[in-house]
């Protein structure tokens, strides 16, 4: 079972920042937070991951709270092409022998 | 560097036939995962394989489904005697050897099985 909780859906205006929350209150010290997204009918796409420090790449930023019990994925300037289901996954640093468990995710709709 | 390749992209079978789905992982990747996505539902883990070994098959139905990842060639997900409920998108993902990992999975574009 997924170890994370996400809102089922969110809307965001095009050009604005999209902030997608994820609750992972039972996360343990050796577990990372990963974010993926799935655009309709396509294979899931890796976005970003982090352990405890905030992370940024060309796609997004990941803000992890100090107690690591929650995180927020930020798409700084959402476009229509960012409309997708976003998945927050917690998995151990090693992850060898483990599978990535995808919960229902958050369906983000970017509106013109 | 080619990504994860899945074929066929679309497959139509009649009830009772066999379906074989193939997945070629990214170059240098030695771990393969299979996921199933029913229409309007989320991704469900099926099986995790390393070359010639099944690491975790806890998500595989007990009957009719099997998976392999031989030393040479692609990983194959085989569904025998298909039923309409097997109609779904089947996604394959790969990851590099343990010592090279940063943790992310790389997914293919999926194979869509339709059972008539």
Token pair listed for B26: 């990214």
| C-alpha to C-alpha distance for A32 and A28, rounded to whole angstroms | 9
In this predicted structure, the answer to whether residue A1 has a pLDDT above a threshold of 60 is no
The reply to whether residue A95 touches residue B101, judged by beta carbons under 8 angstroms, is: yes
Q: Which of A36-50, B8-22, B95-109 has the lowest mean pLDDT?
A: B95-109
Sequence-ordered list of residues with C-beta below 8 angstroms from that of A82, at least 6 positions apart, any chain: A12, A18, A37, A75, A108, A110
> Which residue of A43, A101, A102 is in closest CB contact with B110?
A43
Mean pLDDT on B57-83: 95
Closest CA to B113 of B24, B5, B6, B32: B6
The pLDDT, as a whole number, for residue B96 is 79
Q: How far is CA B108 from CA B5, B32, B90, in A?
A: 6, 11, 9
Four-residue CA torsion sign, B53, B58, B60, B61: positive
Confidence of residue B100 (pLDDT cuts 50, 70, 90): low
In this predicted structure, the answer to whether residue A97 has a pLDDT above a threshold of 80 is no
Mean pLDDT on A69-76: 97
CB-based contact, A105 to chain B, within 8 Å: yes
Averaged pLDDT score across all residues of chain A:
91
Averaged pLDDT score across all residues of chain B:
91
> Which residue of B44, B55, B104 is in closest CB contact with A46?
B104
With CA atoms as reference, the chain A residue closest to B5 would be A43
Mean pLDDT on B63-86: 96
The reply to whether residue A46 touches residue B45, judged by beta carbons under 8 angstroms, is: no
The pLDDT, as a whole number, for residue B99 is 58
Please name every residue paired with A15 in a beta bridge, in sequence order, or none if there are none: none
- Phi, psi of B27, deg, nearest 5: -60, 130
In this predicted structure, the answer to whether residue A34 has a pLDDT above a threshold of 60 is yes
With CA atoms as reference, the chain B residue closest to A42 would be B109
Which chain A residues contact residue B35 at CB under 8 A? 102
Which residue did the predictor score with more confidence, A111 or B29?
A: A111
CB-based contact, B104 to chain A, within 8 Å: yes
The reply to whether residue B45 touches residue A103, judged by beta carbons under 8 angstroms, is: no
> Which residue of A38, A49, A102 is in closest CB contact with B104?
A49
Confidence of residue A99 (pLDDT cuts 50, 70, 90): confident
Q: How far is CA A60 from CA A56, A103, B24, in A?
A: 6, 20, 29
Neighbouring CB atoms inside 10 A of A22's CB total 24
The pLDDT, as a whole number, for residue A94 is 67
Confidence of residue A30 (pLDDT cuts 50, 70, 90): confident
The pLDDT, as a whole number, for residue B101 is 61
Closest CA to A90 of A36, A20, A18, A45: A36
């Amino acid at each position: 079972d997924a170890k994370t909780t996400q809102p089922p859906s969110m809307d965001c205006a095009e050009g604005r920042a999209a902030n997608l929350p994820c609750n992972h209150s039972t996360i343990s010290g050796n577990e990372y937070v990963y974010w993926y997204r799935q655009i309709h009918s396509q294979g899931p796409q890796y976005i970003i991951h982090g352990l405890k420090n905030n992370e940024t790449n060309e796609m997004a930023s990941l803000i992890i709270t100090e107690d690591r019990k929650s995180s927020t994925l930020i798409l700084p300037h959402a476009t229509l092409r960012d409309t997708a289901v976003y998945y927050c996954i917690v998995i151990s640093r090693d992850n060898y022998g483990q599978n990535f468990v995808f919960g229902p995710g958050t369906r983000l709709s970017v509106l013109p | 560097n080619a990504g994860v390749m899945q074929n066929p992209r679309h497959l139509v079978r009649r009830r009772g036939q066999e379906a074989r789905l193939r997945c070629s992982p990214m170059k240098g990747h030695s771990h393969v995962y299979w996921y199933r996505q029913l229409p309007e539902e989320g991704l469900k883990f099926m099986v995790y394989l390393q070359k010639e070994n099944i690491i975790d098959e806890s998500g595989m139905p007990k009957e009719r489904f099997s998976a392999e990842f031989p030393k040479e060639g692609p990983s194959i997900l085989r569904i025998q005697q298909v039923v309409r409920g097997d109609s779904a998108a089947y996604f394959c993902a790969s990851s590099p050897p343990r010592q090279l990992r940063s943790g992310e999975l790389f997914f293919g574009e999926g194979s869509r099985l339709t059972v008539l």
